[in-house]
């Protein structure tokens, strides 16, 4: 396949699953924010999808990573990052629930009901690990807000990034779909590492409550591409891949950009030492494996416990590519959750009403033809919390939720269905497969 054909194919795929048009930055005047998660009995939900004991606070921060490489100018400029932070709220906090506003791919505004209080004090009774949450290309910082709120209710500080040059608001995907792609390749992991460093090393509203020894990173699609790099999966762009994904033609520039791209652990090119605070990584539909963009030796040297989550019909990141990343990862604590018959949209919140009434370009960012988005979200909450509790907080009993038979369909053997997965009620673990590196303990 020629480079031109490859670019067209990638453009078509990204238009389907991650594109956007910037039409307006003015949000709709909604009298009442949409509620995407109406009450649902816990009897049909996995155990760890239940809300935790903490009420949740949320703040929006404007951070600046100084003097970063700018692909547009090939020089240095300060890189602004807007970050949504969820955290356990003080017991005395008493404020109305807030909302989240953003735009769809085509610039249509929406506002969603939150289960968090805006700008209230943080609970000062404990120390909480920081979890960095990273969206895809394109996306926005609240596209997985259900995970941010959920983890915060269980005692985590969750920092979700608006990756500059890579959001719905930044990219006119119909007319210039690759305008932010070079920046995304370079900055996704660097942004993750910068935000983690900020909460652990700089003065901020949560400084006194941060568990400075333990942290985690979660990424979706290009966020997963970055997360794998952040835990030590060094990039390995050859000349052909560099040209394909950056559009650069000058041979001298290609060599320079190759060195810039082929970084390890959030841009620590000369010293690929992985941040020892990071104790767990979750990658939803991570991009890059289908193009062999990770160094095989570096992948084998990964020691951070890793959960990969994929749709068996993913046509953007490619299911085989995601499985290759899982297989190459050297950590003895690694897992692969597969949603059978799902495509790429396994991590976003359900579609807002404006997207449902719009074109495929909008609804296609949220819609899964074979799965309920609510079911995917609740299951994601369960497994992400199990992963973080087990490996970040070291709660041994939570590791049992990660020790499962391969198939959750409860096949009938000798006239009786096999037991449901641990944490799932009978009949409700269907449609999923599970792989783990370690043999089952029971």
317 occurs within a structural domain = yes
421 occurs within a structural domain = yes
Domains in the chain, number: 1
Of the two residues 11 and 410, the one the predictor is more confident about is 410
Residue 376 is part of a domain; what is its CATH number? Answer: 3.40.50.1820
442 occurs within a structural domain = no
Q: Please give the residue range of the domain that contains residue 378.
A: 3-436
Residue from 213, 345, 338, 326 nearest 279 by CA: 213
Tokens of 367: 């819609």
pLDDT band at residue 178 under the 50/70/90 scheme: confident
pLDDT band at residue 14 under the 50/70/90 scheme: very low
pLDDT band at residue 436 under the 50/70/90 scheme: very high
At 271, which helix (H) or strand (E)?
A: none
pTM above 0.85, yes or no: yes
121 occurs within a structural domain = yes
DSSP symbols for 84-97: EEEEEBPTT----E
In this model, does residue 357 exceed pLDDT 60?
Answer: yes
pLDDT band at residue 78 under the 50/70/90 scheme: very high
430 occurs within a structural domain = yes
E strands of 177-320, at which residues?
210-220, 278-284, 306-311
- The upper half-sphere exposure of residue 380, i.e. CA atoms within 13 Å in the direction of its Cβ, equals 32
What average pLDDT does the segment 208-217 reach? 98
Q: Per mean pLDDT, which range of 25-39, 254-268, 367-381, 422-436 is the poorest? A: 25-39
pLDDT band at residue 422 under the 50/70/90 scheme: very high
Q: What is the pLDDT of residue 25?
A: 37
Residue from 37, 58, 30, 220 nearest 140 by CA: 220
In this model, does residue 105 exceed pLDDT 60?
Answer: yes
Q: What is the pLDDT of residue 269?
A: 62
């Amino acid at each position: 396949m020629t480079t031109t054909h490859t670019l067209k194919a990638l453009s078509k795929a990204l238009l389907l699953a991650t594109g956007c048009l910037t039409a307006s930055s003015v949000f709709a005047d909604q009298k009442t924010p949409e509620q995407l998660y109406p009450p649902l009995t816990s009897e049909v939900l996995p155990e760890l999808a239940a809300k935790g004991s903490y009420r949740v606070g949320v703040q929006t921060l404007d951070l600046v990573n100084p003097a970063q490489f700018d692909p547009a100018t090939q020089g240095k400029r300060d890189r602004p990052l807007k970050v949504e932070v969820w955290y356990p709220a003080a017991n005395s906090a008493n404020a109305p629930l807030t909302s989240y506003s953003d735009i769809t791919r085509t610039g249509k505004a929406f506002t969603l009901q939150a289960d968090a209080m805006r700008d209230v004090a943080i609970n000062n009774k404990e120390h909480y690990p920081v979890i960095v949450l990273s969206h895809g290309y394109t996306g926005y910082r609240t596209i997985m807000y259900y995970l941010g709120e959920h983890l915060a209710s269980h005692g985590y500080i969750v920092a979700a990034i608006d990756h500059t040059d890579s959001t719905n608001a930044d990219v006119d995907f119909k007319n210039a779909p690759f305008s932010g792609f070079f920046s995304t390749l370079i900055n996704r992991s660097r942004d993750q590492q910068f935000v983690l460093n900020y909460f652990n090393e700089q003065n901020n509203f949560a400084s006194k409550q941060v568990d400075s020894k333990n942290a985690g990173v979660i990424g979706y699609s290009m966020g997963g591409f970055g997360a794998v790099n952040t835990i030590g999966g060094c990039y390995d762009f050859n000349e052909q891949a560099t040209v394909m994904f950056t559009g650069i033609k000058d041979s001298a520039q290609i060599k320079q950009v190759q060195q810039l791209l082929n970084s390890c652990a959030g841009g620590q090119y000369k010293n690929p030492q992985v941040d020892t605070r990071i104790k767990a990584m979750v990658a939803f539909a991570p991009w890059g494996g289908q193009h062999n963009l990770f160094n095989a030796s570096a992948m084998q040297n990964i020691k951070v416990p890793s959960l990969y989550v994929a749709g068996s019909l993913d046509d953007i990141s490619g299911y085989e590519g995601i499985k290759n990343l899982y297989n190459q990862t050297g950590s003895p604590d690694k897992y692969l959750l597969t949603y059978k018959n799902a495509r790429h949209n396994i991590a976003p919140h359900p579609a807002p009403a404006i997207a449902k009434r719009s074109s495929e370009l909008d609804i296609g960012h949220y819609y899964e033809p074979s799965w309920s988005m609510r079911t995917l979200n609740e299951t994601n909450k369960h497994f992400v919390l199990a992963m973080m509790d087990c490996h970040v907080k070291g709660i041994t009993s939570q590791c049992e939720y990660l020790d499962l038979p391969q198939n959750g369909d409860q096949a009938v053997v000798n006239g009786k269905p096999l037991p449901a997965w641990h944490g799932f009620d009978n009949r409700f673990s269907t449609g999923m497969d599970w792989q783990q590196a370690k043999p089952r303990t029971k």
